[in-house]
Amino acid sequence: MADVVDRSTRSRMMRSIKGRDTRPEIMLRKYLHACGYRFRLHRKDLPGSPDLVLPRHDLAIFVHGCFWHRHAGCFYTTMPGSRVAFWQAKFEANIHRDQKAYKNLQQMGWRILVVWECGFKHNHDRVSEIADLIQTQGQYQEWPPQPPRSRSG
């Protein structure tokens, strides 16, 4: 399928995508701060530079976009129609980098919580579950536990 915008517009749009301080990340930070959790942001001394780090809980939190980090089974994990080989390599590299960071963090004694972008679009009324996950002792957890299969959730 051909792109609906011209090449320069698509380039400008892709350049504007941020890697930090995204809307889901800010929403999570506000919620956790209101709950009394204190955290550090984007610690570059840790593998993968987690979006939020709760040292008191030995927890590294990653807020991932479903498209870029390939949320398995999620409606938002689509494949662009052009340059498919490029995108497959890009996405595989992202997944590999994420898994390597998780493994290295766990070897250092950190627990991992991955919060997916779709959770804020479809489960915003269940954000309190994240506070419960912080208190549990699982080594690797994801929220939401089940991705949406359609735009309606």
Residue pLDDT tens, the chain, 153 long: 567 778 788 677 767 676 778 889 999 999 999 999 999 999 999 999 999 999 999 999 999 999 999 999 998 999 988 889 999 999 999 999 999 999 999 999 999 999 999 998 888 788 889 999 999 989 999 999 888 877 765
* Residue 77 structure tokens: 């994990």
**CB burial of residue 70 (10 Å; 0-12, 13-18, 19+):** middle
Q: Residue 2: what pLDDT?
A: 64
Indicate the CATH number for domain 20-143. 3.40.960.10
* 153 vs 91: CA distance, rounded Å: 24
Q: Residue 14: what pLDDT?
A: 67
Q: Looking at residue 109, what DSSP letter applies? A: T
Bridge-based pairing state of the strands 59-64 and 111-116: parallel
* 148 vs 122: CA distance, rounded Å: 7
Q: Residue 82: what pLDDT?
A: 84
Domain ranges of the chain: 20-143
Q: Residue 153: what pLDDT?
A: 58
One-letter identity of residue 103: K
* Omega cis (within 30) before 144: yes
